[in-house]
A and B are shown apart, each in its own frame.
Chain A
Amino acid sequence: MLTYVVRRLLYSIVVLFAASFIIFFFVSVSNDPLSFLRMQPTASEITIENISERKHLDEPIPVRYLYWVQDMFTNQFGTTTIGDRPILPDLTRVMGHTLQLVIAAELIAILLAIGIGVYSALRQYSAFDYSATTFSFVGLATPVFWLALMLQVLFVNIYLWFDIRIFYTANLSGIDPGTGLSFLLDRAQHLGLPVITLAIASIATYSRFMRASMLEVVNSDYVRTARAKGLHERKVTMRHAFRNALIPLVTIIALNLGALLSGAVVTETVFALDGMGFYYYNQLLLGDPYPVMAWLMVVATLVVVFNLVADIAYGILDPRVRYD
């Protein structure tokens, strides 16, 4: 087990470095981070030359890459090309917002999806089952950004027509949210719509998995045995079927969490929410390799870690799995 984890991690480090070089290469080769500055009539040649020299922009790309690696390890991902703004504080701030969003959305999604999945498996082909299936098929076919927009359209029109203003996402970190109940209310206002968006998308996926794995378990031999020895139906469902049906879901959730921490890009951008995804989107528009690379490294590490967590969790929950 330990050797497996260590080997996976070592391999991941190699992968991360290879990926970082490829991405750095493409970002640097196709883009000039100073283009915005060059367009400014007030920026003098000397300023541009100075920045270019300080940021080693006139060196060949492999050398620039090495400078970047050095900056990553010794200088907390370095600073932005224009303005010399340290990257790490920005990253931690947006990370905090994304965590609030993702944790809230996933908690809601997991609880609801488990309920929906189990109930539709126990009442297969019932009206509830059919509606749940329809919901998740439509959910899987709906682009997340469009769902987010439609929610915005809905609430904007509610505001325009009825003058009721709920769920505004702007100014997330503007006012101190306070603590306790006022914190919760403030977050509910600001994060309500993004959380609903992400939760719907996740429920569509999770409830399908839950239903499928519950169905498989309910029809298996040991559940029949449990029934045959006269256990109460609730006990059969909860103790014998449900717990085993959860195993595949844990893997999916772990994999999805890694992706969500980065993949909320679309949702956050639609709602202009000051999170990881929106940060990345803005840095891509600026074309500065340093923040883009810093973001990618953090997210890639998270993805790798959550992939590993998924594998390990599967091994712990399912004793038939062996690592070697």
Chain B
Amino acid sequence: MTDQPRRDSTVLAGAGAVSADPVGVGTDLNLTYESGLELKARSQWSYARIRFFRHRLALVSLAILFLTAIVALRPGWFAPEGPNDQDLLNIAAGPSMDHLMGTDLLGRDYLSRVIFGLQTSLWVAFFVAILSTIVGTAIGAMAGYYGGIVDNLLMRFTDLILTLPTLAVLLAAGAFLGQQGQSLGPISISQPMVIALILAFLFWTQLARIVRGVFLSLREKEFVEAAKASGGSDSRIIIRHILPNCVGPIVVTTTLVIAAAILTEAALSFLGFGIQPPEPALGNLIAEGNVGGLGYWWLVTFPGIVIVIIALAVNFIGDGMRDALDPTQRVRA
């Protein structure tokens, strides 16, 4: 089955708008042709944006993620009660109008706890994404650009981390390093951040490989040679000339890392090797609910549903980004 690009009446230009210009004056924004068709030259970014906005599911997911992010940033505004306020008349009560997600065994409003837990979980996922993106990009860029022994050393290190059984190592690290906050000299790291660091330490490898691949193929290209000939320093060539070409894969991988980080952190916290109990996180909320016995189904169900929704949204956004940022895809305009 072929996937015919649909066309509507206003814009008829595909990705080849500029090259369709017979004289080669691709600089004009509006070119009128004999046929009377209106052509619009667009940058790759605007094509990407158009493609992304056509992806309905990704757009809805973005809205959902945006809302959860706002809730997570200011949980106090949205939570009906504090995370530790007790309602002693309604202990372990099922969902009702007073307590939409019920209350736990200490009579705490579960919706509020889920909202505060959401804050922790999203922060951790966010930090993991940022850290692993920075580390992965830096290592991949250096390995790909310099090649030779630098490449060999960095990639062997990457391989080493890739061969580790991820979950097992995370559990060990969580059990032995992540039970309390750590301090590195004057900097003290809070306990959730230690977990974020541990996750980031294992999550950068895939990105490093992808970025390295792009750098390997691009460093031989003429534009890099030109930049070198005109005296550009290594760091300038890496950052200004080659790195912009990797933005697509980087963005896509980062979204996938966010989803993986949320799921993995939840699993770690559930097993008790992740974020520790006084701090609510989606994973350890489920663990707390589980302690009460499975008759209190709402304590287990709701935080899980929140995790599924966030992970779904992030995955859909990743999908939309992949479609949008792939320059070989024709814009469905």
Contacts and interface: CB of A to CB of B under 8 A. Distances in A.
Interface residues of A, number: 48
Contacts of A146: 266, 270, 286, 300, 304, 307-308
Given A26-B172, A141-B311, A263 B165 contact: yes
B315 A144 contact: no
Interface in A227-285: 258-259, 262-263, 265-266, 269, 280-281, 284-285
Interface residues of B, number: 38
Interface in A282-317: 284-285, 287, 292, 295-296, 299-300, 303-304, 307
A146 B283 CA distance: 9
A296 B163 CA distance: 12
B271 interface: yes
B223 interface: no
Given A143-B267, A149-B290, A266 B167 contact: yes
B295 A19 contact: no
Contact of A156 (B176, B266, B295, B307): B295
B304 A149 contact: yes
B297 A266 contact: no
B44 interface: no
B252 interface: no
B207 interface: no
Residue among B175, B304, B315 with most chain A CB within 10 A = B175
Contact of B267 (A31, A145, A304): A145
Contacts of A27: 172, 176
Interface string B258-289: 01000100110011010000000001001000
Nearest to B298: A153
B251 interface: no
Contacts of A75: none
Interface string A153-174: 1001100100000000000000
Contacts of B316: 137
Contact of B176 (A30, A143, A296): A30
A140 interface: yes
Nearest to A266: B267
A152 interface: yes
Contacts of B165: 258-259, 262-263, 296, 299-300, 303
A142 B308 CA distance: 5
Given A145-B267, A146-B304, A15 B163 contact: yes
A9 interface: no
Nearest to A258: B165
A87 interface: no
B60 interface: no
Given A27-B172, A149-B290, A262 B160 contact: no
A12 interface: yes
Contacts of A299: 165, 168
Contacts of A184: none
Contacts of B259: 141
B294 A153 contact: yes
Nearest to B171: A284
A48 interface: no
Contacts of B266: 143, 145-146
Interface string A92-125: 0000000000000000000000000000000011
A208 B135 CA distance: 30
A150 interface: yes
A34 to B, nearest CB: 15
A59 B270 CA distance: 35
A19 B301 CA distance: 38
A18 interface: yes
B1 interface: yes
Given A149-B300, A299-B165, A269 B271 contact: yes
Nearest to B263: A143
B326 interface: no
Contacts of B164: 19, 300
Nearest to A124: B1
A160 B293 CA distance: 12
Contacts of B290: 149
Interface in A1-51: 12, 15, 18-19, 23, 26-27, 30-31
Contacts of A284: 171-172, 175, 273
A265 B264 CA distance: 12
A286 B105 CA distance: 28
A185 interface: no
Interface in A196-223: 219
Contact of A31 (B1, B176, B263): B176
Interface string B285-323: 010001000110100110010011001100110000000
A303 B175 contact: no
Contact of B172 (A12, A149, A219, A292): A292
Contacts of B308: 138, 141-143, 146
Nearest to A263: B167
Given A12-B163, A143-B283, A259-B167, 10 more contacts: A15-B159, A30-B177, A141-B311, A142-B304, A143-B308, A143-B311, A145-B270, A153-B301, A156-B294, A263-B166
14 contacts: A31-B176, A125-B1, A137-B312, A143-B304, A144-B267, A146-B266, A149-B286, A149-B304, A259-B166, A266-B271, A280-B171, A284-B172, A292-B172, A296-B168
